Amino acid sequence: MIHKRDAEATMGAGRLILNADDWGRDQETTQRILDCATHGVLSSTSAMVFMEDSERAATIARDQGIDTGLHLNLTTPFSAPHCPPELVDSQRKVTSCLRRHRLAPTLFHPLLRQSLEYVVSAQIEEYHRLYGAFPARMDGHHHMHLCTDVLAGRLLPPNIIVRRSFSFSRGEKSWGNRFYRQSVDRILARRHRLTDFFFSINPLEPHRLQRIVALARKCAVEIETHPVNPEEYQFLMGDEFIQLLADVRVAPGYAV
């Protein structure tokens, strides 16, 4: 199980942080993440608010001491019955703009500022209501916390832990792609705390995952996973993943 109080005391210089996204999105997603947490293969989870299962998920997390952060949602419609209509409308405007085309998140949209500020601040406040504290860590659904409008507007609270861009080696992506991601990470590092590396658990290729896990012997490495995906869920709950972690223990909480 993921306990906040144990995280700092047990962390060394290197750490493997396995974080599950979308906690509270719906009951199936919450239950899959809870199964993996109970199985001892997760460090933490990122919680969605104003969603179908947000209230119940928050109660579970508080009762069981699960380490959570805020999973900022700018792209998937809020599904909680109590969600204010004006918030739904504002999020719809933000979503429409950010998903208009592939490069939209990299551009600055000055007319979006008021709606975006409202949507971000409302989710921070709702997290505080549900979890009894403001988020000490934030990331984004579809990684939209890294969009230019959020960064330029300084909408993420300072000094908290924020998920960095995906890490890629030379040759995995174009030079321009890697340069853009490095630039985003430099902007983040001025106001926030980051891990050394960040990867998705997919693709589930043994040699790739072995290289990632090896980095965690000396560096802080976050791996993102979505246990609602059947393939990822089976992998996390199976013996192959336990064997992969033979030399590196999954951190008991998200600490940088």
> According to the model, what pLDDT value does residue 1 have?
41
Give the pLDDT band (50/70/90) at residue 121.
Answer: very high
Burial class for 190, CB neighbours closer than 10 Å (0-12, 13-18, 19+): exposed
The percentage of the chain sitting over the pLDDT mark of 90, rounded to a whole number, equals 86
**Which single residue is written with the structure tokens 């299962």?**
53
Instruction: Set out the domains of the chain in order of their start, with CATH numbers.
Output: 4-244 (3.20.20.370)
> According to the model, what pLDDT value does residue 251 have?
94
pLDDT in tens, 47-96: 999 999 999 999 999 999 999 999 999 999 999 999 999 999 999 999 99
For residue 254, pLDDT beyond 80: yes
Mean pLDDT of 189-199: 97
For residue 118, pLDDT beyond 60: yes
> According to the model, what pLDDT value does residue 27 have?
98
Mean pLDDT of 6-19: 66
> According to the model, what pLDDT value does residue 129 have?
98
Mean pLDDT of 152-160: 97
> According to the model, what pLDDT value does residue 175 have?
83
> According to the model, what pLDDT value does residue 248 have?
87
pTM above 0.75, yes or no: yes
Instruction: Report whether the peptide linkage leading into residue 203 is cis, meaning its omega lies within 30 degrees of zero.
Output: yes
